[in-house]
Structure 1
Amino acid sequence: LRFPELAKAFYEKGPGRASGRLAEVLEAARDRGEIQLDDCRWAADHFVGMFRDNLHLRVVLGLCPPPSPAEADAAVISAVGIFLHGVYG
């Protein structure tokens, strides 16, 4: 890695920050008895990772254009639904 400080700063200010804040929200919900999670940070990392999916990779690699607002909304709705309800029923 040529610029480890830059990589660390990017992660801490972007995906790491989002995961950390979401983990706090999930922990509060767990403490109120609204959800059941053993590891809120891991769940938060999974959720944030859902947004860095193959569509993101295809756009970064120039294989397809960025999604339209409607396509982005559909991706978010899908990720939230899978995260909250899983793939069952």
Structure 2
Amino acid sequence: MSSKKSTYIDRRDDVSPKEGEREYGDVTFADPTNKKYPVDTPEHVRAAWSYIHHKDNAARYDADEVETIKGRIRRAAKQHGVELRDE
């Protein structure tokens, strides 16, 4: 693994991106590859932040992918005026 931070998230075998798209529609996701963690509303931003802090959810990603997802959630939170707490 390189030390360069990547913004790419690998495709996960345990999820179907079509399911996320079907459930949430054409929205912005913090993990757009797998259509996980929608961040299109303040409620979704708060939920995404909570879920990515669950150890079992974060464990499905490499550490740099988790940081990428958290960064995208933070940016969406700022856009939606949502204050996030580190969990």
> What's the TM-score once normalised by structure 1's chain length?
0.29
- Higher normalized helix content (fraction of residues): 1
Higher relative contact order (CA 8 A, sep 6+): 2
- Higher normalized strand content (fraction of residues): 2
Larger radius of gyration, structure 1 or 2? Answer: 1
